[in-house]
Structure 1
Amino acid sequence: MTFGLTEEQESLRREIRAFAAREIAPHVSEWDERSEFPHDVVKKMGAMGLMGIIFPEELGGSGMGYVEYVLAIEELSRVDGSVGIIVASHNSLCTNHLMLGGNDAQKKKWVTRLASGEWLGSWGLTEPGSGSDAGGMRTTAVRRGDEWVIDGSKTFITNGSYADCALVLAVTDKEKGTHGGISAFLVERGTKGFRSGKKENKLGLRASDTAELIFEDCVVPAENLVGKEGDGFKDAMRVLDGGRISIAALSLGIARGALDAAMKYATQRRQFGKAISEFQAIQFKLATMATELDAAWLLTMRAARMKDAGLKVTRESAMAKLYASEVACRICDEGVQIHGGYGFIKDYPAEKFYRDVKLCTIGEGTSEIQRIVIARELLKGM
């Protein structure tokens, strides 16, 4: 039993690990090469309850917590980070924003479809001109009677081409900006004036769809406003507290896959008459990789347990995301180094882990933004 996990949590981990080995592993290279979205696997994960793992059973979810959620994302990402980030974005961003800001009618209408896996969701915050600086947002929503008219675009949206709905942030009062001038809206696929734009051709996580969302005179009913008018940015920051735990878990999974691959290769590759795992230089690399990974796991689990306890996790989730993502980059880099020339070709998994992991230091707030968040939380009240 891994330290601190119950037998039920260990059982869940084993179940997801077996699923990933059976349903994902045989297709990883093909999906990556073709940038092919794994529709069938997403449906199967919905049937398993993974697309609503952190949401109540009465709303179609599995009724589990963030500890179980971290285990799920980690095990999926250990095999393919693309699958991990599909599940993470759907759960912690789109659906979670509805849970945090939506009213009972909205939860019954939309969360039930998302949590059950019937629908796939996306979340639109980032724009071509506003990434870390959300205050530079240009997408607008204007009230006209009983409707809102949305105009603008979002970029780098996970699940953007295939999602059945998008939870979108838009400016409703330019003068107030992030302090009460941004609101959130749920836009269903098929709404006139809403379409997906360019699908990005990415360095890594290529089986995960990343695309633009475009809104041109897009009219949604007034009841599609999620949360209070002007509270969109505030709610988005609450959403990101959980989302950063997701990216920490994604980092753990990719790093663990890279470490597994490096250890396997090191025990099989022979040089100078013995396995390279017998050389101290390789042993030291593996020891450092494993130690840093365990430290990152503990930081992430601390944030997950605090989240499950209903505590504020702004600092802790930022720490977990920052450390886990940067550790994962180091581990994947060393994984390639241990493979030598074979780490640079697609016949071995090391190069894919190396490509996939870089997103973890960028998505849902760069490492630089995490340091700002952490410092701000540390200095509050000084």
Structure 2
Amino acid sequence: MTEEAADLFAMACGFFDREVPANRAKWETQRHVDRSFWRKCGELGLLCASVPAAYGGGDGNFLHQATIQEAYARLGDRSWGNTIHSGVVADYLAAYGTEEQRLRWLPRMATGELIGALAMTEPSTGSDLKAIRTSAVRTDAGWRINGTKIFITNGGSADLVLVACSTDPSKGAKGISLIVVETKDAVGFARGKVLDKIGQHGADTTELFFDDVVVPHDNLLGEEGKGFAIMMGKLPQERLMIGITAVNAMELAVAVTTEYVKQRHAFGGPLLDKQHIRFELAECATLAKVARVFLNDCMETHLSTGLDLTTSSMCKWWLTDVQCQVIDRCLQLHGGYGYMTEYPIARLYADARAQRIYGGTNEIQKELIARSL
């Protein structure tokens, strides 16, 4: 943590501490974060932190993006889709976009005028991205896109969607391309209802439909047929982002549970007086500490030499598995109150489960690790 990043962290924490608790219930009810919140984040420089200043970004690196996510994740909220907006979509555009594409989209993403989404998952295609069926056919008018995407973060609000398409089905993974769809006035583009999830209720997650949607030829991101390679190349960073959320969630779970068992009395005294309670918390606190050390090591490696795919898979599966274990044990220490959504531990529990699924299921991560042995 550099001095500059520390200042950014302090500023971001102050803003999120004011805005997130005050709006969380509203976001969860309406199933999305207000556009005004995105605009405020843009005004403070909390969007596109690692994008060069020439394109309206913060001119930082992954440390700055991770710092902002850390400041947000420590509150235990999972509504704001900035990890996709800034950490994925903007990063893809900055790294692989043409100069015209960067100047066209990134400045407005940095202000919050445009919200970004990445459309990979399909009803019959989850972790197996090579099996993508959404097609994009080159025509005289442009790329003609047909298909359905599901579980898309920011899908209901997105103005800019990176769509993973099959541009040459005969080539498998080498026939997958990324094409940018600007949703405003896009004929043939439609959104399904916001999906009703177990947790992460404030997160805008929807199904997207493409029925002969035509976009210009120059909306292709990178080279044709390189989409799968682009997505794979950025996976270590995406898995690190998931790890940041996991570690902050388990640290928060230990903190709120410790406070609860100090105040909750049973059998003649505070729960914390009971040896079993103390031992459970001691184990959970240790797991959270080990997780933090592992995450920091992965962060340092990524910032210096770049995190390899195998270690990023270890980071993703282990941290999210431990997240669920720690939060489950902490919920148990709350007794019946742990099952009530008014308590933070209940929301942490419901929000945690998806962490082991998105970003590539944990079973896929273990398979990838095994292949490297």
**TM-score interval (norm. to shorter):** over 0.9
Superposed CA deviations along residues 134-173 of structure 1, whole A, max 9, x for unmatched, are 1221100001125110000110000001011100010011
User: What is the TM-score normalised by the length of structure 1?
Assistant: 0.92
Q: Which amino acid aligns with 2:182?
A: E
Which residue of the partner structure matches residue 21 of structure 1? 17
Q: Residues of 2 paired with 1:112 and 1:308: CA distance?
A: 25
Superposed CA deviations along residues 306-358 of structure 1, whole A, max 9, x for unmatched, are 33235243222222211211111112111211111110112311111100011
Q: Residues of 2 paired with 1:235 and 1:305: CA distance?
A: 23
Q: Which amino acid aligns with 1:185?
A: I
Which residue of the partner structure matches residue 49 of structure 2? 53
1:310–1:214: structure 2 CA closer, same or farther, 3 Å change rule? farther
Q: Residues of 2 paired with 1:340 and 1:305: CA distance?
A: 39
1:30 to partner: Cα distance: 4.1
1:268 to partner: Cα distance: 1.1
Which residue of the partner structure matches residue 184 of structure 1? 178
1:257 to partner: Cα distance: 2.2
Q: Residues of 2 paired with 1:70 and 1:370: CA distance?
A: 22
Q: Residues of 2 paired with 1:210 and 1:16: CA distance?
A: 25
Instruction: Give the secondary structure class of the aligned counterpart of 1:83.
Output: coil
1:25–1:217: structure 2 CA closer, same or farther, 3 Å change rule? same
> Any conservation in 1 of the 2:79–2:204 contact (CA below 8 Å)?
no
Which residue of the partner structure matches residue 222 of structure 2? 227
Q: Residues of 2 paired with 1:16 and 1:38: CA distance?
A: 18
1:233 to partner: Cα distance: 0.7
**In the TM superposition, what are the counterparts of 1:86-125 in structure 2 within 5 Å?**
86-125=81-120
1:62 to partner: Cα distance: 1.6
Superposed CA deviations along residues 4-47 of structure 1, whole A, max 9, x for unmatched, are x3343333333322222211113324433453433332222222
Which residue of the partner structure matches residue 276 of structure 2? 281
1:168–1:30: structure 2 CA closer, same or farther, 3 Å change rule? same
Q: Which amino acid aligns with 1:56?
A: P
Percent of aligned pairs sharing the same letter: 34
1:112 to partner: Cα distance: 2.1
Q: Residues of 1 paired with 2:34 and 2:292: CA distance?
A: 27
Instruction: Give the secondary structure class of the aligned counterpart of 1:235.
Output: helix
Q: Residues of 2 paired with 1:282 and 1:40: CA distance?
A: 43
**2:343 pairs with 1:348:** yes
Superposed CA deviations along residues 74-103 of structure 1, whole A, max 9, x for unmatched, are 33122243235x111112222222223212
Query: RMSD in angstroms over aligned alpha carbons?
Result: 1.8
Which residue of the partner structure matches residue 328 of structure 2? 333
Superposed CA deviations along residues 230-277 of structure 1, whole A, max 9, x for unmatched, are 001111111222111111111122222222211111111122332212
1:48 to partner: Cα distance: 2.0
Which residue of the partner structure matches residue 72 of structure 2? 76
Q: Residues of 2 paired with 1:356 and 1:50: CA distance?
A: 23
Superposed CA deviations along residues 181-232 of structure 1, whole A, max 9, x for unmatched, are 0111010012212221232001111101000111111001100000100001
> Any conservation in 2 of the 1:16–1:72 contact (CA below 8 Å)?
yes
Q: How many residues align?
A: 372
Q: Residues of 1 paired with 2:51 and 2:31: CA distance?
A: 30
Gapped regions of structure 1 (runs ≥ 5):
none
**In the TM superposition, what are the counterparts of 1:290-329 in structure 2 within 5 Å?**
290-329=285-324
Deviates further, 131-140 or 91-100? 91-100
Q: 1:358 aligns with which of 347, 353, 359?
A: 353
Structure 1 stretches of 4+ with a deviation exceeding 4 A read none
Q: Residues of 2 paired with 1:70 and 1:328: CA distance?
A: 18
